[in-house]
Amino acid sequence: MDRRRVLLGSVGLVGGVGCASSGTPSSAAHEGKTSANPAPSAATGYGAGLFPATFRARAAASPAAQGSWTVERVVAVRGETLPTPTSLDIVLEVAADPAALWSLSGVAGHARYVERAEKAPLDAASPKLGRPEASRGALIPIRKSAAWWSLPQDERRAIFEGRSKHIELSMPYLPRIARRLYQARDLGQPFDFLTWFEFAPEHEGAFDELLTTLRAREEWTFVEREVEIRVSRTA
């Protein structure tokens, strides 16, 4: 069996930034080969309920590319940064691009740490990606420490929600902020999680507040590398 398909079949959602996303497809913006195309079919080789994406950084702007975002700034929150590109494109497959300044891939899938009582309100409050008014965005790749991954899942859940209240604290910011969490660790990527956010300009302050709140919790003591890439939708 293709190693990539084995890896894709193993991914789920856990411990990224900004609510534990259910992984449920939220709009056509992230469900095709590019941000404007239809959802992938079984012929793409990805299992049901799995949504791959590659974030490709360009050193020169490419306004003709569908789904292109202009990079406003790149900030190293913790650990090593990434080179600052001019634009960011999203391709909805796991595909390395040697022409990119850098590229990061992940797969959104089924929730691991979201319990049944939490899933229904999360799904109801979560907005779609690709809303016309959501012209601001952010990509936040995160890598957690070996200490985090050495913990059994029940202990990670206890830190994630029992003590850090990741979901509870994030809920008030929905539906202003749309997000999708991609697993990258099982694909051999330099980060464990890639979280993509979209929001309207007037909600950028709320997004900043959400990040400050989550980064102050116990869960973030296990983060050893985090980069924040802020973008605006390319006209």
This prediction has a pTM of 0.81
* pLDDT beyond 90 at 53: yes
Q: How confident is the model at residue 227 (pLDDT cuts 50, 70, 90)?
A: very high
Which residue in 140, 151, 187, 189 sits closest to 19, CA to CA?
Answer: 140
CA distance 194 to 13: 10
**DSSP code, position 186:** G
* pLDDT beyond 80 at 30: no
- What tens digit of pLDDT does each residue of 64-99 get? 444 489 999 999 999 999 999 999 999 989 998 888
Give the chain's domains with CATH numbers. 3-27+72-79+108-233 (3.30.70.3420)
Q: How many degrees, rounded to 5, is the angle at CA 210 between CA 138 and CA 91?
A: 20
* pLDDT beyond 70 at 222: yes
Give me the chain's average pLDDT, please. 81
134 torsion bin: left (phi>0), alpha (psi -120 to 50), beta (else): beta
Check residues 16 and 143 and name the one with the higher pLDDT: 143
Contact call for residues 206 and 173 (beta carbons, < 8 A): yes
